[in-house]
Chain A
Amino acid sequence: MALPKLAVYKFASCDGCQLSILDVEDLLLDIASVVHIANFPEASREVVEGPYDLTLVEGSITTPHDAERIHEIRRQSKYLVTIGACATAGGIQALKNWKDTDLFMRTVYAHPEYLETLETSTPIKNHVEVNFELRGCPVDKMALVEVVAAFVQGRRPNIPEYSVCVECKRRGTPCVMVGHGTPCLGPVTQAGCGALCPSYNRGCYGCFGPMESPNTEMLAAAWQRLGVNHRGLVDAFRGFNAYAEPFRITSDHHEALAVAKGE
């Protein structure tokens, strides 16, 4: 029987999430034995025509051309999975959604007329149906293996949806907020990194985006008790998942307060 065909596509992004596939050094050749890597330009010149059984999409939609291209990719894909913060939430480049794109273009480029860009950076789900979203900036490479394995085995990927706090408890890392007053986004951020930052004595900065039903205002109040002002909260929630709804609402709220208070 023919192996299922895998395609990997890139939109606006850093390449890090698709690089994760090449970073599973011990398993790379095993993966290539259970799926046919049919279209993966970063790794291969070979392009096997679609349709594809499993398509991994990295990056966000930021140009008129890409907004068209994603529809063709959807048509060619049986099962489409977005990988990483850019594809699932718009990525760090979504910071432009709060700014004047014309001004941005003039800041970076001498001839903005050479560029074609949209006003916004948006996640893939805003444009086409997505079958599964894998979070992270970058994704965890073993989680990516789990997504491919689950697909091959015909089951739902086993990816946690609880908060980073659960991972800290599990690995026995003392709470950085309670222990040494370090502001941490862990209580509102989805698990997946293994609670990395707290294990290095720093607060979580939200790479995996909002957990399900996060209480961001409660956390914001706790940060304020640690001396963080509204502007500091805006910076924190406007990171790599800034455009994910719960983080977006929270940063907008505190931006208004920061402006009112002249911070």
Chain B
Amino acid sequence: MADVRNIDVDYIARVEGEGEMHVKVVDGVIEDVWFGIFEPPRFYEAFLEGRPFSDAPDITARICGICPVAYQMSSVHAMEYAFGTSVTGQLRSLRRLLYCGEWIESHILHMFLLHAPDFLGYESAVHMAADHKDIVELGLRMKKAGNAIVTMVGGREIHPINVKVGGFYRAPTKQELLELVPELEWSLEAVVETIKLVSGFTFPNVEQDFEFVSLSHPLEYPFNEGRIVSNKGLDIAVSEWNDYFLEEHVERSNALHSRVRERGAYHVGPLARYALNYEKLTPACREIAAEVGLGPVELNPFKSIIVRGVETLYAIEEALRIIDQYEEPAKPDVELNVHAGVGHGASEAPRGLLYHRYELDSNGRILKAQIVPPTAQNQLTIEDDLRVVLEDQIELPDEELSWVLEQSIRNYDPCISCATHFLNLKVERITTQ
């Protein structure tokens, strides 16, 4: 008789969207590990064809209710690239501020509501609140401070309405931004407390030799601009994405898998950004990172929750800096010279690099669109992680093993709605004697 252990999680909880995991272990040997995406396909790239360029930020925002700002930013940068325009000065700063808001709300949502319950052994944050109400409330208050930025600058927290190619429909007044300051200042201390709290969690001891990929900018921690770099020698312009990366369609997933052409799986998101841009963090960020035991590179994906905290601190500091230096611009947008062309844009969504490419006709209508979301890029790395974690924890009973494997998927804060243009977990164990 074969001892077959199947661990199947048909619908992975506490992630955005619908995915599944399947693990098969035969006589203690891992035979198959896959992470699948059954989120229904929505065909964004197809129905963008024929739409005016100006629709791209509003339509692509709807790919994801958690990180709409990322879609808006990558799309507007791609269109501006096509038209040979760039947005500078206070308008550029306002875009960074909007992105700070999204990083804060998305990172805090993930840390407190989706990921912390794993470490503390609760089914959900609501269950966790029964014993740790103060912690949950701390998180919710910080999340609200992040959402308040998005609401002020973007008009509303989900699917902001104020972003356009060339800038904004209306620039906020200095007074409107100053109203955000008190809660952000409170959050500065709250997030440091949070980083200390999460660094005290117990982490499975697993590391991988990741190829980290992120944007890199000479002067700042990356949000909207920079070159695409990796710790294995990649250093390319955003417009060269398709020369160095490959997207593949595999049967188990409604999201395309991407790989570095020369090497294979890679890792985008907080761990990658942190490792590749450590020097660009503020002194306060590097100080707290050191205090809680993070080096300049962190290879344990479970510790991404700490890095999200450090990045949240960065985003709060950056938001306060931008607000302090803000002066209302004379015009909320720049003139566009609409013509045929090809545009590329990449920005750092909370979950990692988000690449857009558009071909436009002479009226600025979209002929072809390509959108590469962070979770699609992380799929292969997530499967590699599952193998490593499985090998390390294989002695656990099925229920506990299933939970730690789910947790290792949640390390990536996967956004499956995004990836499908994508979670469900299965562990199958077989013993043959």
Q: Is B386 an interface residue (CB 8 A)?
A: no
Residues of B within 8 A of A110 (CB): 248-249, 256
Residues of B within 8 A of A41 (CB): 11-14
Q: Is B45 an interface residue (CB 8 A)?
A: yes
Residues of A within 8 A of B417 (CB): 13-15
Distance, CA A197 to CA B17, complexed state (A): 28
Distance, CA A13 to CA B418, complexed state (A): 10
Distance, CA A109 to CA B37, complexed state (A): 14
Residues of A within 8 A of B45 (CB): 107-108
Given A14-B417, A44-B124: A29 in contact with B169 (beta carbons within 8 A): no
Residues of B within 8 A of A40 (CB): 124
Residues of A within 8 A of B406 (CB): 45
A42 touches B40 (CB 8 A): no
Q: Is B109 an interface residue (CB 8 A)?
A: yes
Residues of B within 8 A of A108 (CB): 41, 43-46, 421
A-B contact count (CB 8 A): 181
A15 touches B64 (CB 8 A): yes
Name the residue of chain B whose CB is nearest to the CB of A110. B249
A63 touches B40 (CB 8 A): yes
Q: Is A117 an interface residue (CB 8 A)?
A: yes
Interface residue stretch chosen among B151-159, B184-192, B202-210, B346-354: B151-159
Q: Tell me which residues from 44 to 92 in chain B have a Cβ below 8 Å from any Cβ of chain A.
A: 44-47, 49, 51-52, 55, 58-59, 62-66, 68
Interface residue stretch chosen among B135-143, B225-233, B267-275: B135-143
In the assembled complex, how far is the CB of residue B371 from the closest CB belonging to chain A, in whole angstroms? 9
Residues of A within 8 A of B158 (CB): 16, 19-20, 23, 138
Q: Is B127 an interface residue (CB 8 A)?
A: yes
Name the residue of chain B whose CB is nearest to the CB of A32. B126
Q: Is B29 an interface residue (CB 8 A)?
A: no
A44 touches B136 (CB 8 A): no
A15 touches B16 (CB 8 A): yes
Distance, CA A200 to CA B42, complexed state (A): 30
Residues of B within 8 A of A93 (CB): 42-43, 47
Q: Is B18 an interface residue (CB 8 A)?
A: yes
Contact partner of B13 (CB less than 8 A), chosen from A45, A109, A197, is A45
Q: Tell me which residues from 1 to 53 in chain A have a Cβ below 8 Å from any Cβ of chain B.
A: 10-20, 22-23, 25-26, 28-29, 32, 37, 40-46
Residues of B within 8 A of A17 (CB): 65
Q: Is A66 an interface residue (CB 8 A)?
A: yes
Given A29-B133, A235-B52: A22 in contact with B109 (beta carbons within 8 A): yes
The number of chain A residues touching the other chain, given as a range, is 35 or more
In the assembled complex, how far is the CB of residue B227 from the closest CB belonging to chain A, in whole angstroms? 28
Residues of A within 8 A of B11 (CB): 41
Q: Is B254 an interface residue (CB 8 A)?
A: yes
Q: Is A105 an interface residue (CB 8 A)?
A: yes
Residues of A within 8 A of B42 (CB): 12, 62, 92-93, 121
B123 touches A45 (CB 8 A): yes
A37 touches B126 (CB 8 A): yes
Q: Tell me which residues from 326 to 350 in chain B have a Cβ below 8 Å from any Cβ of chain A.
A: 332
In the assembled complex, how far is the CB of residue B285 from the closest CB belonging to chain A, in whole angstroms? 25
Distance, CA A25 to CA B157, complexed state (A): 12
Contact partner of B47 (CB less than 8 A), chosen from A13, A14, A104, A205, is A104
Q: Is A193 an interface residue (CB 8 A)?
A: yes
Name the residue of chain A whose CB is nearest to the CB of B52. A235
Interface residue stretch chosen among A74-82, A95-103, A162-170, A215-223: A95-103
In the assembled complex, how far is the CB of residue A257 from the closest CB belonging to chain B, in whole angstroms? 17
Q: Is A171 an interface residue (CB 8 A)?
A: no
Distance, CA A43 to CA B125, complexed state (A): 7
Given A44-B13, A108-B45: A200 in contact with B170 (beta carbons within 8 A): yes
Residues of A within 8 A of B12 (CB): 41
In the assembled complex, how far is the CB of residue A32 from the closest CB belonging to chain B, in whole angstroms? 5
Q: Is A111 an interface residue (CB 8 A)?
A: yes
Distance, CA A141 to CA B254, complexed state (A): 30
Residues of A within 8 A of B170 (CB): 200-202
Identify the 7 closest CB pairs spanning chains A and B, nearest first: A16-B65, A44-B124, A46-B123, A110-B249, A104-B46, A95-B47, A25-B140
Could you give 9 example pairs across A and B, Cβ below 8 Å?
A20-B158, A42-B16, A43-B124, A99-B46, A110-B256, A196-B155, A200-B162, A201-B332, A202-B162
Residues of A within 8 A of B (CB): 10-20, 22-23, 25-26, 28-29, 32, 37, 40-46, 59, 62-63, 66, 91-93, 95-96, 99, 103-105, 107-111, 114-115, 117, 121, 137-138, 193, 196-197, 199-202, 205, 207, 235, 239-240
Given contacts A12-B42, A16-B159, A202-B169, 17 further A-B contacts (CB under 8 A): A16-B62, A25-B141, A26-B144, A28-B126, A29-B140, A42-B14, A42-B15, A92-B47, A108-B41, A114-B254, A117-B40, A121-B42, A138-B156, A138-B158, A193-B156, A201-B332, A240-B62
